[in-house]
Amino acid sequence: MYLILWLPLIVAVVGTGYFLHFTDADFKWKALAAALTGTSLVLQLMPSRVPFVVPLILQGIVALWMAIYWKLEQ
């Protein structure tokens, strides 16, 4: 159960870090990736009344986006 929750988080954070530091993408895309990942981190790690599926969806979007970006760059 924990793998389902933590794997997208790890992929999203590592993918966003790579995207921010090692690519020459436009600033608006880097800001969008950082904002989505930051929002998902806040929603997941802060005690709130947000269902766990909301940060999971945000992290899945970022993880999918990074996977597509890596495939297109190769």
Per-domain boundaries in the chain: 2-73
40, 20, 38, 22: which is closest to 30 by C-alpha?
20
Q: What is the model's pLDDT at position 21?
A: 92
Q: Is 31 exposed, middle or buried (0-12, 13-18, 19+ CB in 10 A)?
A: exposed
pTM of the predicted model as reported, rounded to 2 decimal places: 0.81
Q: What is the model's pLDDT at position 27?
A: 93
Q: What is the model's pLDDT at position 53?
A: 85
The runs of H, that is alpha helices, within the chain are 2-22, 27-45, 53-73
pLDDT of the chain, 74 residues: tens digit per residue: 567 778 888 888 888 998 899 888 899 999 999 999 998 888 888 877 888 888 888 888 888 888 888 888 77
